[in-house]
Amino acid sequence: MYNKGHIVGFFALAVVLGQDKGITNYQSQEYEAAQEYYESVLMDNINNSQAQFGRGSSAFQLGDMETAKHGFEQSLKSHDVQLQSKAMYNLGNTFFKSEKKEEALAFYRKALELNPEDKDAKYNYEFLKYQEKPPEDQQKQEQDQSKDKEENKEEDKQEEEKEKQEQEEKNQDKKDQEQQEEEEKEEEEQQQEKQEHNPEQQESQEQKASEKEKAQDLKQAESILDALKQDEKIMQKQQIARSKSRKLAKDW
């Protein structure tokens, strides 16, 4: 894309047109009022080339390139070579504003053909024609940078979504843990409250536990007693055996 900053701008209407209300409004930068004035003139005479030129100039300042283009094209019907030259020049500016380089160059050239002394048209023509385009490697670099920027943007978006998902999972885990702790606390409180309101049940449970413990002790004692009795029987048998043995030895 070429640089717009150094193109010479618009010619003032006073260069071509005589002093009138449209000129006054235009010079006061009241472009809408100027355009309305020239359109009112054209309602009476559509072939008024100077009014067409004024209409085009006002529309240009308002950023309406289509109306400006039409006004300048209509003013080319004039037999005034100076007006034609200015219209050509302004058409060049209009196409330049629309980023149509080749069309702008063509109208600057035509303006110079009609008026070779037009320094502004010559400057714009040479500036636009010989302005260097960005090198291909620079264009490629800009494209690569733009591509990298888009990729980085997508990666950042994915990373952001991942972090958001991880945070949501952490929040959910924390919420589940808190809920579980709350449920356990409620259950413990209910159990405690139940025991406080049922002392008989608690006493019964304690009594059963005591009886169970006593039964276990009794069973253990019985086991020990049985073992002692068994040992006593064994000892008695051994004594009888020894006694018999002595008797046999004596008799023999």
Residues 75 and 160 in one domain: no
Residues 93 and 30 in one domain: yes
The answer as to whether 204 is a domain residue is: no
CA–CA separation, 34 and 42 (whole Å): 12
Where does the pLDDT of residue 137 fall: very low under 50, low under 70, confident under 90, or very high at 90 and above? low
CA–CA separation, 97 and 64 (whole Å): 10
Residues 158 and 192 in one domain: yes
Mean pLDDT of 35-57: 92
Domain that holds residue 219: 210-252
> Between these two residues, 202 and 130, which has the higher pLDDT value?
130
> Between these two residues, 76 and 244, which has the higher pLDDT value?
76
Model pLDDT, residue 2? 46
> Between these two residues, 245 and 168, which has the higher pLDDT value?
168
The answer as to whether 67 is a domain residue is: yes
> Between these two residues, 8 and 82, which has the higher pLDDT value?
82
CB hemisphere CA count around 159 (13 angstroms): 6
CA dihedral for 99, 102, 103, 104, sign (positive or negative): positive
CA–CA separation, 181 and 174 (whole Å): 11
Domain boundary among 130, 157, 184: 130
Q: Is the pLDDT of residue 198 over 70?
A: no
The structure tokens 């709350």 sit at 182
Model pLDDT, residue 108? 93
CATH number assigned to the domain comprising residue 111? 1.25.40.10
Per residue in 206-228, pLDDT (tens digit) is 777 778 788 887 888 788 888 78
| Contact status, residue 90 vs residue 100, Cβ threshold 8 Å | no
60 Cβ neighbours under 8 A, 6+ residues apart: 10, 68, 90, 93, 94, 97
Question: How does DSSP assign 234-245, residue by residue?
Answer: HHHHHHHHHHHH
% of the chain at pLDDT higher than 70: 79
